[in-house]
Amino acid sequence: MNRCPHEILLQIFGLACDDDGSTGRALSLVSRNVHELSKEFKYQSIAIVGLLRLVSFAAVLQDLQEPSRRVRHLFFSSIAQNLSGKPKRITEDLQNYRDTCDAFSKVMRIVAPTLVTCQIVFQSARMVTLIPESCPCLTDLSLVGPFPTLPGVDEAPRFPSLRSLTFSSFTDYPSCLFDDIATQAPNLQNLAFYPAQACRNFAGDLAKALNAPTSSRSAPDPHHVPRPALPNTIKQVTVQPGTEINRELRNAYCKQSVQALMERKLTYMQKNHKRCQVECVAPGRPQTSPQDTLSVWLLRSHD
């Protein structure tokens, strides 16, 4: 390895550091020379699971200088770290939520200039619709977990390079969702929604945002074409009307009725909307665990 030109080693290290951070950490222990050459790629791709690791990672990044602090691919999951097995008090949960949001904001401020792909798993509601910092290079964003009830930012972050945006494992959504997407991701091409259960008004709200009909009776007036809320750059919208419903549940009939209505509207949009492709995905299995989400992210990072 000592005879290999540094330029080639840098290319090798850049390609190798495409996992959860294990390769970068291993390279830093090989030798002093490899440590110095590979340090700019050490955190190029990183997966952080849990609040304690997030806080530690924020501290590490703050002590680093460019280019060693560059992060291009980020996975974060806010899995509760209750190692004692004892139930937590509400005050502890609230404090953990605040600490998670604070540490996450610190990390995002540092990595925002170089971030290219990002997947976030939040068990509690996020503070903002997307993520709290503008990311000029971000092309792919996946958000797992509940939406904020009242998204709060003084100035909406911008993602001019964002092409693919996915939301999953949510049961409700803010009324400003589609306006936020249009404002913050003006060049979006692929948009996907995988709710944890069917949402009664979602298909109708999506249709309004796309200026698309949900039935023959709701076909728009040909002489009046309102401006759609979502950007014209969108090529495909994928929606799954919730997961499979357990028929043994007491409210199974109500849930099935809502799901059937949502699926019917989405199917009509799929057949009749011309501006972009709307795809209705059949209801699937319950959402995967955070561990499975990480496994899927690691596979995608090698595509």
User: What's the whole-number mean pLDDT along residues 194-203?
Assistant: 92
Other beta carbons within 10 Å of 174: 15
Would residue 209 count as lying in a domain?
yes
Does 210 have pLDDT greater than 60? Answer: yes
pTM attached to this predicted model: 0.86
Would residue 109 count as lying in a domain?
yes
Helix segments in the chain, DSSP class H: 6-16, 22-27, 32-38, 51-63, 90-111, 177-184, 202-210, 252-272, 290-300
Q: Are 41 and 69 a contacting pair, CB within 8 Å?
A: no
Which of 42-51, 158-167, 225-234 comes out lowest in average pLDDT? 225-234
Q: Are 58 and 106 a contacting pair, CB within 8 Å?
A: yes
The answer on 9 and 103 residing in a single domain is no
Range of the domain at 289: 44-213+227-301
CA atoms of 243 and 262, how far apart (whole Å):
12
The answer on 175 and 196 residing in a single domain is yes
Would residue 222 count as lying in a domain?
no
Domain count of the fold of the chain: 2
User: What's the whole-number mean pLDDT along residues 270-285?
Assistant: 88
The answer on 295 and 275 residing in a single domain is yes
- Amino acid present at 238: T
User: What's the whole-number mean pLDDT along residues 206-234?
Assistant: 72
- CB-based contacts of 175: which residues, under 8 Å, 6+ apart? none
CA distances from 82 to 79, 88, 92, 108, 214 (A): 9, 8, 11, 25, 45
The answer on 54 and 107 residing in a single domain is yes
The answer on 277 and 170 residing in a single domain is yes
DSSP code string of 61-74: HHH--TTTT--SEE
Does 234 have pLDDT greater than 60? Answer: yes
DSSP, collapsed to helix, strand or coil, labels residue 162 as: coil
CA atoms of 221 and 274, how far apart (whole Å):
15
Which tokens go with 185?
Answer: 């991701």
Does 72 have pLDDT greater than 90? Answer: yes
The answer on 30 and 68 residing in a single domain is no
The answer on 49 and 37 residing in a single domain is no
Provide the CATH number for the domain around residue 241. 3.80.10
Would residue 157 count as lying in a domain?
yes
The answer on 27 and 112 residing in a single domain is no
Which tokens go with 283?
Answer: 């209801």
CA distances from 286 to 24, 171, 179, 245, 261 (A): 34, 13, 28, 9, 20
